[in-house]
């Protein structure tokens, strides 16, 4: 999960790497989290990515995920 800073606070925005053939949707994840996560902890945005960016050691590059989340949120805010 990556968190990026807005003007006043950090937003949680999970980036999920979907397995090939997986039928998981954004709605299914939101429904799953309704009964398992406190309302204030629920992410406002959720993103699926083809491949998580990783470094040579196999660790996820969080800075790249934050930038991707900023771009996608800015794009969805413009469409609304």
- CA angle, 36 as apex, 32 and 40 as ends, to 5°? 105
* pLDDT tens-digit profile, the chain (80 residues): 555 455 545 667 778 888 888 888 888 888 888 889 888 888 777 888 888 899 999 999 988 988 888 887 776 554 54
Centre a 10 Å sphere on the Cβ of residue 44 and count the other Cβ atoms it contains: 8
Tokens of 28: 């299914």
Please name which of 78, 74, 8, 9 lies closest in space to residue 45, comparing C-alpha atoms. 74
Q: Where are the domains of the chain?
A: 2-79
| 53 vs 69: CA distance, rounded Å | 13
| 6 vs 58: CA distance, rounded Å | 28
The top-level CATH class assigned to 2-79 is: alpha beta
């Amino acid at each position: 999960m990556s968190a990026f800073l807005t003007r006043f606070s950090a937003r949680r925005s999970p980036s999920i790497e979907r397995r090939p053939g997986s039928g998981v949707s954004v709605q299914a994840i939101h429904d799953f989290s309704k009964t398992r996560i406190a309302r204030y902890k629920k992410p406002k945005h959720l993103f699926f990515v083809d491949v998580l960016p990783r470094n040579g050691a196999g660790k996820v590059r969080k800075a790249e995920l934050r930038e991707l989340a900023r771009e996608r949120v800015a794009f969805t805010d413009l469409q609304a």
